[in-house]
Structure 1
Amino acid sequence: MTVSVEAAPVVSVDPVLLAVPGRGAALRVRVSAPVAGAALPIILFAHGFGSSGRAYGPLADHWAAAGFAVLQPTFRDSRTLGPIPDDPLLWRYRVEDMLRILDGLDSIAAAVPGLSGRLDPARIAAAGHSFGGQTAGVLLGLRVLDPATGAGADLADERVRAGVLLATAGRGGADLNPAAAAKFPWLNPDFTHLTKPAFVVAGDADASPLTTRGPGWLTDPYHLSPGASALLTLRGAEHSLGGIPGYDAAETTDPHPARVRAIQTLTTAFLRSALHPGDPEWDRARAAFAGSALGRLEIK
């Protein structure tokens, strides 16, 4: 699959620190953006459980070179900050951090040389991998249900217009391994309110230990969300989807550069078209991927 996208030089600053009263440590954000250009659309990216905002270079670098400003927070569950807290509200702390970044866009831009005044707050997307996919999904309308009461707060944010959910958990309840249900009570999502445009990516060899259902579980965010309009299922891909967590990340069990390139190209095209209606890149990328041996692209 070949879609020509002109890459721009990129600047990255890490960390940009946001002081948050009552949070304890400042919120760390890695910012990557093209060195030139105005009205840059924004991708707010949520890392996987235990990872950090310094990971996922293959995605962040590509998106920034393609003209996006990419903001990557490091959440409290990051192993770079110490032992992961045993706290059932970790999922909510992540969402709160994402919202703080949205509220602090001007301060973040001012901390990056040459970026002030160049962000477009009217064109914001949320993306994430694994646990980060759920985090991004909450901003799009996904609700995390309390396993005891069945209640779920609406934490969607109108500023976020589209999203990308990579290897993101499916339904909770009986679909979970009992040990996972006990350890991760937030794995109980309600997708029915996720109405904003979303692109879901899953691997057909991602046999998650969290579920009893097998790799099909990771396609629930597409099948159960009214807004999810595209599903890329990658053949042979495991949870790292070919290597998106990092260029030499130890957790990549299925290194496959062509899979990563497909994700880079298709997610970039989807987000451009979602944030700039009428942009033809998504149609071109879909046509280029048609019949690919890498996987299957479904469209609602």
Structure 2
Amino acid sequence: MAGVAPNSAPAGRLGIVAGSGKLPLYLAEAARAAGEDPFIFRLKNEADGLFDGYDNTVLGVGDLKGLAHNLAGHGITRIVMSGAVKRRPPFGDIRPNLRSLMKLPSAVRTLLSGGDDAVLRMVIALLEAQGCTVLGAHEILPGLLATVGPLGTAAPSVEDQRDIARAADAAEALGRLDVGQGAVSVGGRIVALEGVEGTDAMLGRVAALRAEGRISARRKGVLVKLCKPQQDLRVDLPTIGVSTVENAIAAGLAGIAVEAGRALVVEREAMISAANNAGLFVVGIERNGESGA
């Protein structure tokens, strides 16, 4: 996988804020291959134990004081946020430092009532208040970005193309509301929208509806994941991997479409192999919903 240029001369150490999943580890490996010595902030009750051999510490999601202490102690001036975070920190878990106190009232309001995108933008602002530059995962590992067209051997049919267009419209509308990034269309009918439960749980709902006979057994359907229109590309890009393919297969779908250049594909080889074995297509689409097939 392509990463940052080995001959680049970064200013200050790179910190990786790690939620769950393998993406933080991929970023750490790419950074190390490029000559960096990344420091890993493993989010408490979120990050997987994948960081043997890396300098790391466990950090509460709202522990800004602990974050600032580690930033200064390890010379960290750049931060990349990666991996899933399932829980928002309770108010009592927020530990501000002096640099974040001025932003705390608005941060608490966002935490209590804002959507995920609003919360993530607030987190970026708090990190920048500590003097850090916030980078996107795609800036560290651009090879993870989806490309236009089929990623495997299968390609969408004409009917699948209609489902892609329909689900893309729904996903874009959902994103404008700062609710989720994904939608499923079966036979031109929107049968599921992604909420706080995430993509895999949404696909589990589709599988259950299919088993109950509430979704046509004759039509397969498509999952589409798009960036929210207002989304900051440095955080929470739509992501698919092996589990997405496995759950799409269980839901009886024909395929998956993601936004080319604005979505991440993790475990690419294993994911494509699983999709090919099942005859399921995975395709990168342009923002206007036109497939690259």
Greater share of helix? 2
Which has the greater radius of gyration?
A: 2
Q: Please report the TM-score for the alignment, with normalisation by the length of structure 1.
A: 0.35
Q: Please report the TM-score for the alignment, with normalisation by the length of structure 2.
A: 0.36
Greater share of strand? 1
Higher relative contact order (CA 8 A, sep 6+): 2
